Amino acid sequence: MNRRSLMKLAATAALATGMTTGAALAADPLKIGAVAPKTGPLAGGAVVTFWPNVKLWAHDVNARGGIDVGGEKRMVEIIEYDDQTNPGETIKAVQRLATQDEVDFILAPYSTGLNIAAAPIFARYGYPMVTHTAISDQIEELSDKFPNMYFTLGGATGLAGGVVEVLSDLRARGEIGNKVAMVNVADAFGIELAEVARPQFAAAGFDIVYDSSYPLGTQDLSPIVKGAKASQPDAFVAWSYPPDTFGLTEQAKIEGLNVKAFYTAVATAFPVYAAANGAAAEGVLGAGGVHADGAAFQEYAKRHEEVTGAKPDFWASGMAYASFEILEQAIEGAGTVDRAAVSEYIANNSFETVMGTISWDENNNNASYWTVGQWQDGLFKGVASTGREGAVAVQVKTGWE
């Protein structure tokens, strides 16, 4: 576990905005808790998508002089914990933030499984929980049980439906046939995506010729890829998390799994994916996407790199930052740090974010969202969505060279 105070940064930002040090420190800081993996299988994803955006948001807030709480500007202080990609540790860390650190608010954790694990603790202490990396068709059930829990990335059916849409488009163009090899990581994310994808593929006339799962943290993925290749598929689809997204791609290159539609899920949108695979990344499909050529994303990406020293990913990074913006706007809109009042404000308002306007339909993001992206000419561009502008035409993959 690790605790990091941003008060020095806050004071510096206050001076930069013309405030006096005395005025900046007149109000107590807002203590904000942050829990996500820094170690364990999902650390690679969290250090790209979650932690840099925590840093960027705190920097931006404090550079503006803090959050306006009922006319009083208050800086933010971030208290961080590593949950080690362990749901039990996530629960303990959130509990500690609530009872020992007595933080004002807690940012939602990273990943579907860790959010679901932490939801009862958020609810017990009345913290609003605006998730940014949770995808589930259980949104209605979860929000009924935990009314303060919100989802910004949509449901599993929509994400899987985007993949079916893209493959159907390629098939209609005569680029691929009907045979699909599908694999999934055996955790909440992968299991649910595979379950909702099967009937959608069947309804669209696709045959799943290979269907297999593997435990989270699996090191040797060669048997999975060999099995997929042996089925002679036209398309390969993996509901994968960051470590296996990289591992499956590497094994596909080694085994010569040369399909014209190759899809891996979380981390395909990471800049390091393109860096690790070079020209081989061209044409790879993955979860999410952005309007990569749009001014809004380019401005955010530039600021992200300037402040954190790292590039954002082309999907959930922006949504992580947007979820923090929602919390900030709700605190200012409610004019108080009373958690019940802030939660009510979130429920009844829409929010302008780096990812556009976000509002709610039964605690689910009512706006359209990206479902599939593809590496094209060095950028991960959105090729399918539930109505977002800026989508480009999907391309076939022409091998790993």
Please give the distance of CA 234 from its chain centroid, rounded to a whole number: 28
Q: Specify whether 235 is located in the same domain as 379.
A: yes
Tell me the pLDDT tens digit for each residue of 289-300: 887 777 888 899
Is the pLDDT at 52 greater than 80? The verdict is yes
Whether residue 31 is contained in a domain is answered as: yes
Whether residue 390 is contained in a domain is answered as: no
Tell me the pLDDT tens digit for each residue of 93-152: 999 999 999 999 999 999 999 999 999 999 999 999 999 999 888 888 998 999 999 999
pLDDT attached to residue 25: 47
Q: Specify whether 322 is located in the same domain as 360.
A: yes
Whether residue 391 is contained in a domain is answered as: no
pLDDT attached to residue 368: 73
Q: Specify whether 17 is located in the same domain as 127.
A: yes
Whether residue 400 is contained in a domain is answered as: no
Q: Specify whether 252 is located in the same domain as 302.
A: no
Hey, is 267 helix, strand or coil? coil
Whether residue 395 is contained in a domain is answered as: no
pLDDT attached to residue 264: 98
pTM: 0.82
By the 10 Å C-beta count (0-12 exposed, 13-18 middle, 19+ buried), 125 is classed as middle
Is the pLDDT at 6 greater than 60? The verdict is no
Q: Specify whether 170 is located in the same domain as 286.
A: yes
Q: Specify whether 213 is located in the same domain as 203.
A: yes
Tell me the pLDDT tens digit for each residue of 210-244: 999 999 989 999 999 999 999 999 999 999 999 99
Q: Specify whether 166 is located in the same domain as 283.
A: yes
Q: Specify whether 170 is located in the same domain as 250.
A: yes
**Distance between CA atoms of 80 and 93, rounded to whole angstroms?**
9
pLDDT attached to residue 299: 94
Sort strands 179-185 and 370-376 into parallel, antiparallel or unpaired: unpaired
Tell me the pLDDT tens digit for each residue of 25-35: 458 999 999 99
Q: How many domains does the chain have?
A: 2
Q: Specify whether 16 is located in the same domain as 57.
A: yes
Q: Specify whether 84 is located in the same domain as 32.
A: yes
Q: Specify whether 118 is located in the same domain as 186.
A: no
pLDDT attached to residue 26: 53
- Residue 213, domain CATH: 3.40.50.2300
Whether residue 317 is contained in a domain is answered as: yes
Whether residue 170 is contained in a domain is answered as: yes
Whether residue 29 is contained in a domain is answered as: yes
Give percent of the chain above pLDDT 90: 79
Average pLDDT over residues 189-201: 96
Q: Specify whether 92 is located in the same domain as 15.
A: yes
Domain containing residue 98: 7-155+294-365
pLDDT attached to residue 352: 93
